[in-house]
């Protein structure tokens, strides 16, 4: 490092023109970094805007296919699917029903846009009557009995044609259970993107409107991580990698850039960051008031997530930014 100092050093020299700035830019946001979340529900010609997420919709399978084509045409390589089931029960049975809503959507998307990577969220919270991520007995979310159900869900997604399954439940041992099931039942090439360091965050509020998955009692603190912990994120990530995770994720993104940075220094696997529903809602609300420039803020926000070390970003802004960075 040169320490000649001013006036020999003038850092502004390389900031003088857009071309110079582009030459020394250290981080670039590419359309291939993006993953777009989609919410699918039963019915046909259903398109219902999520109240707390303007511009984001619950879509029936016919519309999901149209949306998948639009996403592909923008050059976005992947979607993440969430299902809103017809029935909710104690065993989350629609979650692993071969005719369940996610399974139908995966098949339809893979048929219409075979090159689009389809990732499915694997969790029980939208499918259990009580809105919890696992099997509940006596008011307690049970870890080990949930693993078998999650593995069944992941397998049914794989058999429908999913390229990647993404367990978001935060049960201990979930990646191992899913990997084992996929390998035993003939889906060894289906990858696992683990929501490995997922915090018990208030930033998921709007998502729970979108996916209709608010817990009927209690909260998610007995399985999701304490927001105050950072070392524990490393433990979670290293364990999931040991169990077979191909891609690991930190979630939420923006208030957790230190975690993204820390994990990037620690592991070799691709790292994803989920810029969650609450992050989307914050920007949208301020932009609607005319208080912030949405386009500029989104680029700054996503660039920061990449600069911290994420390879992939799950964001509800994927479609909006794709054309700006292509």
| Catalytic residue IDs | 198, 251
Q: Which residue is nearest to ligand PBG (CB)?
A: 207
Nearer to ligand PBG, 99 or 221 (CB): 221
Pairwise CA distance, residues 233 & 238, whole Å: 9
204 is a site residue for ligand PBG (CB under 6 A): yes
In the region spanning residues 215 to 234, those forming contacts with ligand PBG, defined by CB under 6 A, are 220
53 is a site residue for ligand PBG (CB under 6 A): no
Rg (CA), the chain: 20
Pairwise CA distance, residues 2 & 142, whole Å: 58
Angle, vertex CA 190, rays to CA 230 and CA 193, nearest 5: 15
Q: Which of 210, 274, 251 is nearest to 82 (CA)?
A: 210
Nearer to ligand PBG, 54 or 266 (CB): 54
Minimum distance of ligand PBG from residue 123's CB (angstroms): 4
User: What secondary structure letter does DSSP report for 190?
Assistant: -
121 is a site residue for ligand PBG (CB under 6 A): yes
Segment near ligand PBG (CB under 6 A), from 6-14, 119-127, 262-270, 291-299?
119-127
Among 120, 130, 269, 277, binds ligand PBG (CB under 6 A): 277
Three-state SS at 16: coil
Cβ contact 287:293 at 8 Å: yes
Segment near ligand PBG (CB under 6 A), from 109-117, 120-128, 236-244, 285-293?
120-128
Minimum distance of ligand PBG from residue 119's CB (angstroms): 12
36 is a site residue for ligand PBG (CB under 6 A): no
Nearer to ligand PBG, 125 or 193 (CB): 125
133 is a site residue for ligand PBG (CB under 6 A): yes
> What letters, b where the CB count within 10 A reaches 16 and e where it falls short, cover 82-109?
bbbbeebeeebbbbbbeebbbbbbbbbb
Q: Which of 67, 93, 92, 97 is nearest to 80 (CA)?
A: 67
Minimum distance of ligand PBG from residue 304's CB (angstroms): 18
123 is a site residue for ligand PBG (CB under 6 A): yes
**Total number of residues binding ligand PBG (CB under 6 A)?**
10
Minimum distance of ligand PBG from residue 184's CB (angstroms): 25
Q: Which of 154, 196, 146 is nearest to 178 (CA)?
A: 154
120 is a site residue for ligand PBG (CB under 6 A): no
125 is a site residue for ligand PBG (CB under 6 A): yes
Minimum distance of ligand PBG from residue 181's CB (angstroms): 19
Query: For the chain, first and last CA: distance in Å?
Result: 34
* Residue located via tokens 């075979």: 114
Could you tell me whether strands 34-41 and 312-315 are parallel, antiparallel, or unpaired per DSSP bridges? parallel
DSSP assignment of 109-152? HHHH-TTSEEEEEE-STTTBTT--SSEEETTEEEHHHHHHHHHH
Pairwise CA distance, residues 186 & 281, whole Å: 40
Q: Which of 160, 239, 157 is nearest to 194 (CA)?
A: 239
- x-or-dash string of contact with ligand PBG, 153-192, rule CB under 6 A: ---------------x------------------------
Minimum distance of ligand PBG from residue 226's CB (angstroms): 14
256 is a site residue for ligand PBG (CB under 6 A): no
Nearer to ligand PBG, 14 or 216 (CB): 216
Residues forming contacts to ligand PBG in the complex (CB under 6 A) are 121, 123, 125, 133, 168, 204, 207, 220, 276-277
């Amino acid at each position: 490092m040169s320490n000649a100092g001013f006036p020999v050093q003038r850092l502004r020299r390389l900031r003088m023109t857009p071309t110079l700035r582009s030459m020394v830019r250290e981080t670039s946001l590419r359309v291939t970094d993006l993953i777009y979340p989609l919410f699918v529900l039963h019915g046909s010609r259903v398109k219902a805007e999520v109240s707390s997420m303007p511009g984001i919709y619950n879509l029936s399978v016919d519309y999901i296919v149209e949306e998948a084509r639009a996403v592909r045409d923008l050059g976005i390589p992947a979607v993440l699917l969430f299902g809103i089931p017809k029935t909710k029960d104690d065993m989350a049975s629609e979650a692993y029903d071969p005719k369940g809503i996610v399974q139908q959507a995966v098949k339809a998307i893979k048929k219409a846009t075979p090159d689009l990577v389809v990732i499915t969220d694997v969790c029980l919270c939208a499918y259990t009557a009580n809105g919890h991520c696992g099997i509940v007995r006596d008011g307690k979310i049970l870890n080990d009995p949930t693993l078998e159900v999650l593995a069944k869900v992941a397998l049914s997604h794989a058999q429908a044609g999913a390229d990647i399954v993404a367990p978001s439940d935060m049960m201990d041992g979930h990646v191992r259970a899913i990997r084992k099931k996929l390998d035993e039942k003939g889906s060894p090439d289906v990858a696992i993107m683990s929501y490995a360091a997922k915090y018990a965050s208030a930033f998921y509020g709007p998502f729970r409107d979108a996916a209709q998955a608010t817990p009927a009692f209690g909260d998610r603190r007995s399985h999701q991580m304490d927001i105050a912990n950072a070392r524990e994120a490393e433990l979670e990530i290293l364990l999931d990698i040991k169990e077979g995770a191909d891609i690991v994720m930190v979630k939420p993104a923006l208030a957790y850039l230190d975690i993204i940075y820390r994990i990037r220094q620690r592991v070799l696997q691709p790292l994803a960051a989920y810029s969650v529903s609450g992050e989307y809602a914050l920007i949208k609300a301020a932009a609607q008031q005319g208080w912030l420039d949405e386009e500029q803020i989104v680029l700054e926000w996503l660039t920061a997530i990449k600069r911290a070390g994420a390879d992939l970003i799950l964001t509800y802004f994927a479609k909006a930014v794709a054309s700006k960075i292509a």
